[in-house]
Chain A
Amino acid sequence: QSVLTQPPSASGTPGQRVTISCSGSSSNIGSNTVNWYQQLPGTAPKLLIYSNNQRPSGVPDRFSGSKSGTSASLAISGLQSEDEADYYCAAWDDSLNGHWVFGGGTKLTVL
């Protein structure tokens, strides 16, 4: 059971806009920044969004992040077939002397 809650699956057609949610609590998302990772099949996770809405160099601006209260969202616009992957949210949790927590992951299917 993951500390951060994500829908197990999401889908969309090419060109569509898709959003993936991540729900937490006051000890994690509510008081700290959120990061998003993309994991393509058979590969290591890759940093997609950091500090709620910042994109590392090389990440297309089709990807955007937002946070409100104890929830965060990842939006992908102009969906492409290569976006089919697992997406994970992560945040620092202030409880128990502090530790990193992840969401359970959302498998995005491009129809």
Chain B
Amino acid sequence: QVQLQESGPGLVKPSETLSLTCAVSGYSISSGYYWGWIRQPPGKGLEWIGSIYHSGSTYYNPSLKSRVTISVDTSKNQFSLKLSSVTAADTAVYYCARHGYPVWGSGSYFDYWGQGTLVTVSS
């Protein structure tokens, strides 16, 4: 059974960088599939942030691209998110998830999700 677990600071100051890690168990990232980050502001809908392949190829939401970096560490079977210059608008529950289709783009979907971690941006 594939399991994902997010970890990282729950509080980040404005203008600083948000950093989260997603540890994967039950499946080797090196075996394939794409891995992504999605966020959900309190009381609001879902927003895709970006995704990565085990080779390191990355894909970002155009609206966040200038501030987002996603990386992968296959030796630790985990991938990470960095979001720079955060503001209160970045306060959200951040989820990591697996794309359940081995090809990038249309046809894929998020089949396994982490439980999510709340990150609050405040001084």
The reply to whether A99 and B95 form a contact with Cβ atoms under 8 Å apart is no
Cβ-based interface call for B73 (8 A): no
Report Cα–Cα, A88/B106, bound state, in Å. 17
Query: Which residues of chain B are within 8 angstroms of A31 by Cβ–Cβ distance?
Result: 106
Report Cα–Cα, A104/B38, bound state, in Å. 14
Cβ-based interface call for A73 (8 A): no
**Known: A44-B114, A50-B100. Contact between A105 and B108, CB under 8 A?**
no
The reply to whether A97 and B106 form a contact with Cβ atoms under 8 Å apart is no
Interface contact tally, CB-CB below 8 A: 65
Report Cα–Cα, A46/B100, bound state, in Å. 12
**Chain B interface, number of residues (Cβ within 8 angstroms):** 24
The reply to whether B109 and A51 form a contact with Cβ atoms under 8 Å apart is yes
Report Cα–Cα, A55/B109, bound state, in Å. 12
The reply to whether B108 and A92 form a contact with Cβ atoms under 8 Å apart is yes
Report Cα–Cα, A33/B109, bound state, in Å. 9
Q: Mark the stretch among B13-21, B44-52, B77-85 that contacts chain A.
A: B44-52
**Known: A45-B95, A97-B62. Contact between A102 and B45, CB under 8 A?**
yes
Most chain B CB within a 10 A radius of its CB, from A33, A50, A100: A100
Chain A residues within 8 Å of B, Cβ to Cβ: 2, 31-33, 35, 37, 43-47, 50-51, 56, 88, 90-92, 94, 96-105
Chain B residues within 8 Å of A, Cβ to Cβ: 36, 38, 44-48, 59-62, 95, 100, 105-111, 113-116
